[in-house]
Structure 1
């Protein structure tokens, strides 16, 4: 009997797996004109490097054609995706991490605080909205190609880079900002950190690292859209999705 993906709950609709706790279908949200985002077309996830044998048929049941890996080159090399065969095409769009080395430095002092971590994460989110924005434009362009779907995109935790990319996509589809935030914050319910932090990491540092923080995403979106009078102007000017192309994206992913 063919395996089926074990979906759980209402929205966001999570795919329950042992080796990837933050894999979700982004469908179901109400977008432009009251139409809802189609299920089964776009998925967001954490690393797929720890999938179990039992997980593989569930991933296969999603019918994925494309997996977009947002992790840095060294990150993806350390934990290559484990996939059913024949595997979907993997497209690398590396958004190189900007926090890792600085985080190691402050942890080494033994005096790191949660505020230190949030400051570093804030810098990373600011980079998503500025110099790394072309990577997210490329992600949006891939998702817009019908032949690429169903498509899944992911980083390591499915939290920061994936969270920003999902927010951009949902906003492009006309989903209200509050629902975008709810989807982003669902990581705090779903994600179980697969790799332990160094022994002795202060609890407040671990808490800051392991959670999605609404104010970081809000600030990044405001920074990305600064100078544009409307979201539509942002998508046309910064993301290459003018009126007709944006309408085509919405028609293909909303019902």
Structure 2
């Protein structure tokens, strides 16, 4: 049975990783949560998350993102695993040059961003798994919108735990039910472009997996050689995060 949805007003993409994964892997509920940033939480939002027992936060945001919206969840350990948001800089540079960005261009740039997770930031995802292997204390992992850096991290965790590709994509695409593009034309983008930027698409995640296949020969090899998850580590991960 699916885990019930949580309603965190200031972090609408907050959810239990077990919420969408209910057909292929018996993921424990209440131990791994994925989210958008926790820098705008009000007292009631913070109370709801604290009531879940969350005591560890893994933050994939870049330095400026973190400093502009500091984690508002009290009494938690925050681990900063910085992955700078390159898509923001790319689009800012194009706009500054007077370029009129199209939705198709955003799709292509998002795919490049996801390939970059594999080719430039594998060390960060390896650190992420080291933290998960340390203990099964209730943990939130997040970036700013909780969709790209967080989405790839969630996909890796689910694969490592034995989820089917169908369940991995279901969890990934659930973001589209929770996040809405901001009204107006933020950053001077057209509504059509903003809609792509604030969504997730299967082809974004597939671009990362294609880079994994090209560079490492498959996801299992990437987990093993890139992220340090050999069979003993995967057994421990399963013991920590799957139902007995």
TM-score scaled to structure 1, two decimals? 0.87
Q: Distance in 2 between matches of 1:230 and 1:98?
A: 25
CA drift of 1:192 comes to: 3.6
Match for residue 82 of structure 2 among 91, 94, 97:
94
**Which shifted more, 154-163 or 186-195?**
186-195
Match for residue 126 of structure 1 among 115, 119, 123:
115
Q: Secondary structure at the match of 1:245?
A: helix
Runs of 4+ in 1 over 4 A off after TM superposition: 10-13, 193-197, 227-230
C-alpha contact 1:232 1:242 (8 A) present in aligned 2 = no
CA drift of 1:156 comes to: 0.3
- Inter-CA distance 35–189: structure 2 relative to 1 (3 Å threshold): closer
Q: Which blocks of at least 5 consecutive residues in structure 2 are unaligned? A: none
Query: What's 2:103 paired with?
Result: 114
2:148 paired with 1:157? no
Larger proportion of helix:
2
1:165-211: CA deviations, max 9, x gaps? 00000000010011100100000001245697527521221111110
Equivalent pairs, count: 241
2:196 paired with 1:208? yes
Q: Distance in 2 between matches of 1:12 and 1:191?
A: 19
CA drift of 1:236 comes to: 1.5
CA drift of 1:233 comes to: 2.9
- Inter-CA distance 194–55: structure 2 relative to 1 (3 Å threshold): farther
C-alpha contact 2:16 2:34 (8 A) present in aligned 1 = yes
Matches within 5 A, 1:1-255: 11=2, 13-27=4-18, 29=21, 35-84=25-74, 87-108=75-96, 109=98, 111-146=100-135, 149-193=137-181, 197-198=185-186, 200-226=188-214, 228=216, 231-255=219-243
1:130-187: CA deviations, max 9, x gaps? 11111111111211221x6211110000010000000000000010011100100000
Q: Distance in 1 between matches of 2:219 and 2:22?
A: 17
CA drift of 1:128 comes to: 0.2
**Which shifted more, 41-50 or 195-204?**
195-204
